[in-house]
A and B are shown apart, each in its own frame.
Chain A
Amino acid sequence: MTDSPDARPAALDLETLSGALEAAGRPWQMAYTSMTALDEVARRTRLGVPPRPELEDSAEAAAEAAMAATADSIGAPASFDVRNINGVSYDSPVKDQGACGSCVAFGVLGASEVVFRYTHGTTMPLDLSEAHLFYVYGRADGRNCTNGWWPEPALAHVKATGVTFEDYYPYTGGDQDGTTKLNPDWPNRYAKVTDYANITGNALVMKERISTYGAITACFNVYQDFFSYRSGIYKHLSGDLAGGHCVTLIGYDDTQSCWIARNQWGNGWGDSGYFKIAYGECGIESYATCSIHGVMLHAWLPNMAVSGLWSNEADANLWAYGAQRGWLKLDSTSPVTSQSMASELAAAKALGRPVGMFEDNGSVKQIYAW
């Protein structure tokens, strides 16, 4: 995306791309994707970060630095893919940003969803509202479908005020006044990032944060050949710079020297929505990279089965294990309060009945047991 995109940029000739791939020894595979099917203007609309063409000059050095920064040097695994952690996937579904340069909202919230699931060891679905982030907070910052955004200011909003769930403001691509579409009950249903950091340009920290928290958000320059990527490890071979783009990095592989990423162009693009990109390529480390260190919920968790209760010698330290969600501390300010909750949860557990629990940052504040 550019602030003033060319009205009718020329599309990349696919025969040219095929020839370039052949000449390079086919490092990745091309295909007629959901993006290939669009015209060039529509393709560039589906980006969303101001481009940084100057990074092209430092690509080789960035690649060497990323390869030298081996994950095992910091005790991290040599490869990591949040879709397969001992057979469990903590990833969230591939989405489609549609005809809007809102990639930052998807890259930031995609990482937030994964960080929540991975750090809590839960497979509970969490679908956050990109529309809330982009059409309310982004719009208030002067950002729109044409001029895009940056991850760090977006994360500042997610940390300070929080983002509601998708069902409270479903996403559609196209500029809109989000304040009129947001469910007014959203202050009772949101997630916040507890902390984040700008780690731009540090491949070693990127690997450490991915393997610790599950995912990060990263931006890179998109060239025209990327629109027709199907599989393999992407390296820019052919075509002009189309714009800047933000995605979710969910893994890396030091053996293959690549990052594993989730895009938001639907399942019809890339490897079912995912791609691998070589270390140092297109500014993937040095463009704008942020790690997220925790995500808290403030929301009702409906229909939770209670599969465990716990306490120890400390006062007011009762916990309940909600199926999928994991351990939650019962209101910790008073032994009487936590024990009354525990009594009700214990009864539901004994009966095998689900409960509703209102969670605020890992603590249960209210329950329904029926």
Chain B
Amino acid sequence: MTSSTIGEPTTAPPGQRAGGTNGSDGGSAGAGTTAPTLSDAALAALVESTTSGPTLAPPVTVAGATTGEAAATATWRTNVTIDALWSIDETRNAFMHVVGLGWRKVFNGRDGAFQALVLLASQARQTGRPCNLREEADGMIYEIYLW
């Protein structure tokens, strides 16, 4: 596949310029469907008990793609941070907790993309750096810019 068919980054880091175009690719079935059950309040309490990570905002919803949460089509979440992660021993099943938004499931269509997105989410969580996330109608995060 070429960059034009599988997408490429189109946004430059803050204060910088880049070119290029994006595409999108469908997912595939067979991935795990369990979602994290820890509430935001419980998560906040855990985080407060440590010295790392930002203070969690108190969104009400804690849900992923499998819970039926309504999400707009291709919604961009810009300049957000990730303060928690979750995964389980199921195929391609991991979530990130986005400050102010709650839990979001990582795109689970294929191994390579899934691992790459989890890598970026993990790095974002570790460094506290801002991200831009593309959330599709199925509630999953399909694209991550990590600044």
Which A residues have a C-beta under 8 Å from some C-beta of B? Answer: 88, 119-121, 307-319, 321, 323, 326-327, 329, 335, 338-339, 342-343, 346, 349-350
Given A308-B13, A313-B143, A327-B9: A120 and B19 interface contact (C-beta under 8 Å) = yes
Given A318-B116, A327-B8, A342-B119: A313 and B16 interface contact (C-beta under 8 Å) = no
Interface string of B112-127 (1 = CB under 8 A from A): 1101110110010011
- The binding surface of chain A is classed by DSSP as mixed
Query: Is A321's CB under 8 angstroms from B144's CB?
Result: no
Per the CB 8 Å criterion, the residue count for chain B at the interface is: 40
Given A308-B146, A312-B142: A317 and B116 interface contact (C-beta under 8 Å) = yes
Decide if B53 is an interface residue (CB 8 Å cutoff).
no
Decide if B27 is an interface residue (CB 8 Å cutoff).
yes
Q: Find residues 1-56 in chain B having any chain A CB closer than 8 Å to their own CB.
A: 1, 3, 6-9, 12-13, 16-20, 22-27
Given A326-B18, A339-B119: A311 and B113 interface contact (C-beta under 8 Å) = yes
Which B residues have a C-beta under 8 Å from some C-beta of A? Answer: 1, 3, 6-9, 12-13, 16-20, 22-27, 107, 109-113, 115-117, 119-120, 123, 126-127, 134, 142-147
Among A313, A326, A342, A346, point to the contact of B25 (Cβ < 8 A). A313
Query: Is A311's CB under 8 angstroms from B6's CB?
Result: no
Query: Is A316's CB under 8 angstroms from B16's CB?
Result: no
Residues on B with C-beta less than 8 A from A311 are 113, 116-117, 119-120, 143-144
Query: Is B113's CB under 8 angstroms from A321's CB?
Result: no
Query: Is A317's CB under 8 angstroms from B8's CB?
Result: yes
Residue of B nearest to A311 (CB): B116
A330 to chain B, nearest CB (A): 9
